[in-house]
Structure 1
Amino acid sequence: MYHPGIALHPGIGPATDVLDAAPEERAGDAVLFQRCHWCGTAMYQRLLCPVCAGSDLRTEASAGTGVVRHSTVIHRNTPAARNVSLIEMAEGFTVRGRVMGSPATIHSGDRVQLATAQDPVRKQPVFQLIEGTYGSWN
């Protein structure tokens, strides 16, 4: 029986990782994101630009600073409460990650700095709170 959705085409090799960066970019502990070549939109882990639908995306390393836009305390599947936060990065994209510290003390508008690009358990970036208010970007 013919299934057009699963047909294999000869000559097509294995897919490469969208975030496959140059060796010098992989060496540092940074959050990698994509920027559209055509419209300049920054995005995190996308195949196409959400603005112009372009597929010509270049990988860049983030400076690591951002602002907490939303934070939720999670109590399940863990011995202690933890948070999951949406962080708006200085480059203009949003990433889901964890902010170190007591989950009850993390609020929208708090400035954060990247601590680790990938948590070994949850595979998400980990941030730490920094002093200062939103709008005082360096």
Structure 2
Amino acid sequence: MVASAPLLKKRFSFRRHERLRRRKDYELAFRHGSRRHTQNFTIILRPNGLKFSRLGVTVGKKVGNAVKRNRVKRCLREFFRLHKHTLPPSHDVVIVAKKDAATLAYHDVREELAAMLIRNNRI
């Protein structure tokens, strides 16, 4: 079991190269990505030509103050970290939070995003 621990750690990590960091990457996703909508989120998927998926999170000021926005971002990053192996490989995933996203607990975020992925045959 000790030998498999590094593999699990790697599988459920959220490494720097798995994040969208450049403005150009966000612009390409917004311009050319396909959109999926849920009650509290808009998910934009765009093929990236890499061997792994990357996550970008956008939470505007309409969601709430900095504390609320940061909490939403943490929940979305945690969802990606735990479910990235079920997402389509080689895609950039940008999740845009809508106004009421700050009222959700993590399990609500998980259920809403997982339901969207199942509905769109991604899991």
TM-score, structure 1 as length reference: 0.26
Larger strand percent: 1
Query: RCO higher in 1 or 2 (8 Å CA, sep ≥ 6)?
Result: 2
TM-score, structure 2 as length reference: 0.28
Larger helix percent: 2
